[in-house]
Amino acid sequence: MATAHASAAARYNRNRRSRLAVWWQEIDRGTLILVLILMAIGAVAVAASSPASARRLSTAHEKLPDLYFFYLHMRWQLLGLGALAWASSLGKDNARRFGILLGAAMLAALVLVPFIGSEVNGARRWLRFGISLQPSEFLKAGYPILLAWILSWRARDPQIPVVGICFGVMGLLGALLMLQPDFGSTMLFSGTFLVLILLSGIDIRRIGIFFGVGLVGLVLMYFTYDNGRNRIDNFLFGGTAFDQVDLAQRTLLNGGWTGLGFWMGTRKLALPEAHTDYIFSVIGEEFGLLACMAIVVLYLAILIRVVLRLVEEEDLFTVLAASGFAAQFGGQAFINILVNLQLFPSKGMTLPLISYGGSSTVAMCLCMGLLLAITRRNPYIQRETFSLRAIGDFQ
């Protein structure tokens, strides 16, 4: 009996090692390493910014320790790493199924947010069921897969109105997000939608319709959403009521090229949301503009890795889904950076994989895990080169 148990345990260990070896051979190890580097930078950056936020949120009755947000962030990062490892271990078919189910579930959750969601700082974006869940963050892990899956139907039946269906999904999503309101996420999902639609070979006239609808939506937002209007006015004309972007820029430049040193920053203490929206400015003050440039290079490197991976891909769904993830990831990163540089209106958007966050950290790790899963490939199989010119043939 003991021999049988030992034999079964040995087979299990061999199978587990074999699965791990296959996973390591098939995933894009370069992208994984870059993601882990960004997360390590995020841990240091949150440690640097935590005192500023902890002191601002302390009260006469409760004083938060300086590393309060750092300790919380470490827990969320561990959970995020688990999500990344699990998602990246999925096969492409299972990753597609999970992404579709997650996208549909988060859309349903967004319907509930205006009715039973919790309000924070004038926005109703969270559902609380013992834990706090922000559906729009986890939707990022399913949205590119859901749209790519719908658009890939055209390869099987050219008569299916996939573009119209996608416009309907985006219209519903935009309406649900603006009910919160969350203009920043609306813009991010719209940009991802546009990238996928362009890759699918949409007719140029429909692109004009999309931009027209977007312009109308922007005008309506300006006249109906006070916070959004104030942020746009402050960006265009300057102002004092909403001047955190100006403060962020001055904090960013205060460290010069090499920074003042870890925990030596002073302007960060007056910076709102130093550990989330404006963590890039804290990095600039304490570690310098050279460190900020290195972070921009890391984000660009991930995007380039994804593009190079797709050049040799022949599956339409994989090209669309991975492109959607890349557009979403890069869009969020560079919107945050441009806001800190005072080159874009404030959006309340975190810096992916670096900013402190609960839902945002776990969701972004899940996004990168699914990206690694859908781009897995056997390195020993000769593959045909995917032609981007062929995408338009499905229109």
pTM across the whole model: 0.85
pLDDT of residue 388: 46
* Measured distance CA(107)–CA(109) in Å, rounded: 5
pLDDT of residue 241: 40
Question: What is the DSSP code string of 221-274?
Answer: HHHH-HHHHHHHHHHHH--STT-HHHHHHHHHHTTTTT-S-TT--SGGGG-TTT
Structural contact between residues 127 and 116, judged by C-beta atoms closer than 8 angstroms:
yes
Give pLDDT tens digits along the chain (395 positions): 556 555 555 554 556 678 888 888 888 999 999 999 999 999 999 999 999 888 888 877 888 888 999 999 999 999 999 999 999 999 899 999 999 999 999 999 999 888 887 776 667 777 877 677 888 899 999 999 999 999 988 777 777 888 888 888 998 998 898 888 888 888 899 999 989 988 877 666 666 766 676 677 666 766 666 666 666 666 565 554 446 777 888 888 888 899 898 888 888 888 888 888 899 999 999 999 999 999 999 999 999 999 998 887 888 899 999 999 999 999 999 999 988 888 877 777 899 999 998 889 999 999 999 999 999 887 666 555 444 444 444 44
* Measured distance CA(94)–CA(287) in Å, rounded: 41
* Three-class SS state of 133: strand
Q: What distance lies between CA 73 and its chain's CA centroid?
A: 17
* Measured distance CA(217)–CA(282) in Å, rounded: 34
Strand partners, 194: none
Structural contact between residues 83 and 365, judged by C-beta atoms closer than 8 angstroms:
yes
Q: What are phi and psi of 128, to 5 degrees?
A: -120, 110
Indicate the pairing of strand 118-120 with strand 123-128: antiparallel
pLDDT of residue 221: 65
Q: What are phi and psi of 119, to 5 degrees?
A: -100, 130
pLDDT of residue 83: 95
Instruction: Enter the tokens of residue 247.
Output: 């403060």
Q: What are phi and psi of 295, to 5 degrees?
A: -65, -40
Amino acid of residue 66: D
- Entry field: residues in the chain: 395
Side-chain-side CA neighbours of residue 223 (13 Å): 5
Residue with structure tokens 């600039």?
Answer: 284
